[in-house]
Every structure is written in structure tokens, then in C-alpha cells.
């Protein structure tokens, strides 16, 4: 390839013959440099295209939900030590994680949202009792992803592989079902939080509607079809005023987009049960709290702000009505979730076609004793030994409801569900964890990983 040497015109006209070799040398030099540059650019473009097309990134990653940059996506990839999906090493980790050690009754479960609050506890409980379990989570940045990474590290320590990927990634889900004949899916991945829907409504549709359909599609095509247990929410009761909330009550007046997507999920579950014979159980969780909890939830951000000496806002309804919640401790929720898996009947479909009627259930999982937010703050003050600076403010119209109260008779009867942790005890455990995690004695395991605090969407 001939290259024009960049120079001023006429410079080479005056060249003498003995400069000829120098000229050739220069030509060769620039020609090689040009070739080198061309090939470097071509190689860089090829690498970049491969990078974007790699399965981990072609999946809808956190970045697509929250518009974070490619650099952030890359840093998420590199911060995880997992090999890329599809690698033999990756496949081995999936199979090892799914291996059942509890015979003859063990199950193999795909847990979506495994790096989340409830997901990490449920995954750990399954592993502890000898079930095979593989996690899936996209580690999005709705709240501090380092908390999710720390949960992942603990799970990895007990032999659980949490695959990094999005539930909307159909090829990834198919690959997982090809590798493992999962008997159950515990589907907990979702865009949680009521108030954030006013900022990022699309993330609720992406994870709670499209993502649920993607999981159900993969499940109905799998052979054998797994039974599905998934997280709906107490928020489906919306503006219902009949208390305590019972599964037979109306759920057609949601107060938030979050609630509407969970209600839509229950209807979608009905469709997949009806058409494809998937066995599906929807669990309506009531305000779950406990160690490793979510930073956007009241007991977490009240604790953080009380310790920081910040004034906390306590919402009040019309006529100064108190806001109250049926706070439910994480261990009780895990017990109810595992009991749902254990009592789930098999799906009846095969080859994507229904062969007979399949089980379809809905359960409330709550604590059955609502406590006012004012009382929650008082209990936290006692455990933290710090007086809160309180400010009462009118509850904004942001999707929150005034009151929740679960009737759990059905779950008691069908699942043997018995919530037995009161708020005093549960908050004591939460505060103990919080203080160890965010202000640990130096040298402890979590000192490096856990610091940095959680983002809040209060």
C-alpha cells in the first residue's frame, strides 16, 4: 500500500539520489505505521462489537434500566469473578450449584433475584437443607449494588452460584434450563419499591411484567416444566378497606404502578396456568424486614438517619391518622416460601402443551399484627440507644397506602405457615446486623465490602 508522506509540497523535489534510501525507508516506515494503525483500528472495532454482543451484555443489564454507562456495565462485569456464560467453566458452576444433596426429597430450584434481600435468605435456606439451587440476578443499581455483591459473596461461600444476567434474557434462561432440569423456580426478581415508580416507571414494566413473562415462557417450554412460586405483594390490596386483607378480597384498585404490575403478574400467572399447565403459586408478602434488608425500606433508612442525627419524616394520613404496616420478619417469609415450594404440585404441561389442570394458588404471607410507624421508630430508638429527631409530615400521594394487615389463615392451613417473630425481636436482630455491617470492628470480613452506605428512595 502506497502512502503519501505528509509533507509540504516540493520538499522531496529537491531530494538528491543519495537520499533515495532514506526516502524509501521513510515510505516503508509510514506505510507500516499506517498498516499497523489500520489493523489496530479494525481489531479494536471487532473487539468492541464482540464485547457488546457477548451474552452477559446482550441481556438487558442494569444499565438499560437506569441509563448507566458502558464503563459502569464493564465494571460490574469485571467485579464479578464468574466466567462468561456458555463457557464450560460457567456450565460446571451451574451444574455444581444445582446438585441436590438431600435425598430422596431434595429439589433443584432456580432462584431469580437471588442477590436481593429475600432472594439471598431463601437461597441460603434452600442450600442449607441440601437442595440444589442456582441464583440469577442482574445486580442493578436501584440500591447500592455493593450490598448485593456482599450477599452474593456469602452465597458463593456456601456453594451457590449466582449467575449475573437479566430475566428478560431468553437465551440465557433457555441455557439454564438446558443445563439443569429445575424442579422449581422461585421467582423473586422484580423492581421493588412503591415510590420509585414515579421516577422510573419503565423499570417496573421491564422487570415485573416483561420479565415475569420471560420467566414463564422459559418455564413452559422446559422439559420437565418446573413448578413456579413467585413474589406478588400485599400492595395488590391497594385501596381495599376491608381488614384484615384476605385472599378473597378485591384487588382491582391498586394505588401505585408497582401494585398494578404485581396485580398484572397474578393475571399473567393465571394465563400460563390455564394455557400451558404451569403449577403457579403467588405469594403476597407484607412489608418484609430483617438483616441484609433493603436500604429503601423504613426500618433501614430510619436506622441510618437516626444514627446520623438527621431528622426523620414520619408520614401521617388525613386527620393525622397513623400509618401502620404488618411488618413481617424475613425468617417467617422464608419459611412460608419454602413451604410453598414443598407443597407445590408438578406442572402438567409437556412440550409446551398442557396435559391436564394444574395447581394455581395465592397466599398472604404477613405477620397478622400491624404496628404503627411511630411505634417502629420507638423500638429502633431503644435498640440503637439514640433518640430520633422526628418530624410529622402529610403522606404524599405517591402510591403508599395507610394500613396493611394480613389474614394468613389460608397459608396456615395449606402451608403450615406460622409467623413467630414479633417486631421487637426482629428489629433487635436487624439493628445488630446493621451495626456489624456498617460499623464493624476493624478487621472483620465485611469491613471492606460493606462500607459505603445504601442509597435511599425514602
Q: Which residues are catalytic?
A: 258
Q: Which is nearer to ligand NAD, 259 or 348 (CB)?
A: 259
Supply the minimum distance, in Å, between the C-beta of residue 348 and ligand NAD.
25
Cα 67 off chain centre by: 17
**Applying CB under 6 A, which residues contact ligand NAD?**
113, 115-119, 137-140, 148, 166-168, 188-192, 207, 211, 231, 233, 285, 287-288, 294
Residues 407/194/123/244 CA torsion (nearest 10 deg)? 0
Supply the minimum distance, in Å, between the C-beta of residue 120 and ligand NAD.
8
Measure Cα distances from 51 to 74, 77, 83, 138, 286 in Å: 9, 11, 14, 17, 41
Listed in sequence order, the residues at least 6 apart from 284 whose beta carbon sits closer than 8 Å to its beta carbon are: 232, 233, 234, 236, 237, 245, 247, 362, 363, 364, 365, 366, 406
Residues 141/147/153/154 CA torsion (nearest 10 deg)? -140
Q: Which residue's Cβ has the minimum distance to ligand NAD?
A: 116
Supply the minimum distance, in Å, between the C-beta of residue 169 and ligand NAD.
8
Listed in sequence order, the residues at least 6 apart from 386 whose beta carbon sits closer than 8 Å to its beta carbon are: 306, 307
Q: Which is nearer to ligand NAD, 142 or 276 (CB)?
A: 142
Supply the minimum distance, in Å, between the C-beta of residue 216 and ligand NAD.
14
Residue corresponding to grid cell 452460584: 161
Rounded Cα distance between 151 and 350, Å, is: 36
Q: Which is nearer to ligand NAD, 191 or 335 (CB)?
A: 191
Q: Which is nearer to ligand NAD, 277 or 377 (CB)?
A: 377
Q: Which is nearer to ligand NAD, 82 or 348 (CB)?
A: 82
Rounded Cα distance between 209 and 296, Å, is: 22
Amino acid at each position: 500500500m502506497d502512502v503519501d508522506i505528509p509533507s509540504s509540497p516540493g520538499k522531496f523535489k529537491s531530494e538528491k539520489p543519495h537520499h533515495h534510501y532514506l526516502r524509501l525507508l521513510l515510505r516503508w516506515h509510514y506505510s507500516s505505521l499506517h498498516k499497523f494503525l489500520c489493523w489496530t483500528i479494525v481489531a479494536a472495532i471487532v473487539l468492541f462489537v464482540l464485547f457488546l454482543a457477548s451474552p452477559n451484555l446482550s441481556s438487558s443489564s442494569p444499565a438499560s434500566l437506569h441509563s448507566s454507562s458502558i464503563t459502569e456495565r464493564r465494571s460490574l462485569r469485571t467485579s464479578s469473578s464468574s466466567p462468561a456464560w456458555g463457557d464450560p467453566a460457567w456450565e460446571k458452576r451451574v451444574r455444581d450449584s444445582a446438585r441436590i444433596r438431600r435425598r430422596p426429597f431434595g429439589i433443584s430450584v432456580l432462584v431469580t433475584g437471588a442477590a436481593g434481600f429475600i432472594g439471598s435468605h431463601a437461597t441460603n435456606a434452600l442450600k442449607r437443607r441440601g437442595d440444589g439451587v442456582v441464583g440469577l440476578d442482574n445486580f442493578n443499581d436501584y440500591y447500592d449494588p455493593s450490598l448485593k455483591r456482599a450477599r452474593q459473596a456469602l452465597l458463593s461461600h456456601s456453594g451457590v452460584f449466582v449467575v449475573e444476567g437479566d430475566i428478560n434474557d431468553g437465551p440465557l434462561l433457555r441455557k439454564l434450563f438446558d443445563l439443569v432440569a429445575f424442579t422449581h423456580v422461585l421467582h423473586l426478581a422484580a423492581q421493588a419499591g412503591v415510590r420509585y415508580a414515579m421516577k422510573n416507571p419503565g423499570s417496573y414494566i421491564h422487570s415485573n411484567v416483561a420479565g415475569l413473562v420471560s420467566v414463564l415462557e422459559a418455564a413452559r417450554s422446559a422439559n420437565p416444566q418446573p413448578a413456579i412460586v413467585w413474589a406478588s405483594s400485599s400492595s395488590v390490596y391497594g385501596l381495599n378497606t376491608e381488614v384484615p386483607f384476605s385472599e378473597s378480597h378485591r384487588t382491582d384498585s391498586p394505588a401505585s404502578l408497582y401494585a398494578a404490575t404485581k396485580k398484572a403478574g397474578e393475571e399473567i400467572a393465571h394465563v400460563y396456568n390455564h394455557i400451558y399447565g404451569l403449577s403457579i403459586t403467588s405469594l403476597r408478602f407484607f412489608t418484609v424486614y430483617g438483616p441484609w434488608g433493603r436500604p429503601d425500606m423504613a426500618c433501614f433508612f430510619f436506622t441510618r438517619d437516626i444514627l446520623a442525627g438527621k431528622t426523620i419524616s414520619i408520614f401521617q394520613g388525613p386527620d393525622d391518622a397513623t400509618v401502620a404496616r404488618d411488618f413481617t420478619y424475613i425468617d417467617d417469609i422464608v419459611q412460608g416460601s419454602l413451604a410453598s415450594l414443598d407443597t407445590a404440585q408438578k406442572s402438567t404441561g409437556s412440550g409446551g402443551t398442557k396435559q391436564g389442570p394444574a395447581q394455581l394458588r395465592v397466599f398472604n404471607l404477613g405477620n397478622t399484627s400491624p404496628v404503627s410507624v411511630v411505634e417502629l421508630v420507638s423500638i429502633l430508638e431503644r435498640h440503637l440507644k439514640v433518640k430520633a429527631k422526628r418530624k410529622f409530615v402529610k403522606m404524599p400521594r405517591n402510591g403508599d397506602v395507610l394500613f396493611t394487615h394480613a389474614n394468613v389463615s389460608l397459608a396456615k392451613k395449606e402451608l403450615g405457615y406460622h409467623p413467630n417473630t414479633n417486631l421487637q425481636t426482629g428489629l433487635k436482630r436487624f439493628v445488630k446486623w446493621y451495626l456489624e455491617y456498617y460499623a464493624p470492628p476493624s478487621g472483620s470480613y465485611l469491613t471492606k465490602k460493606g462500607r459505603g452506605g445504601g442509597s435511599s428512595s425514602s
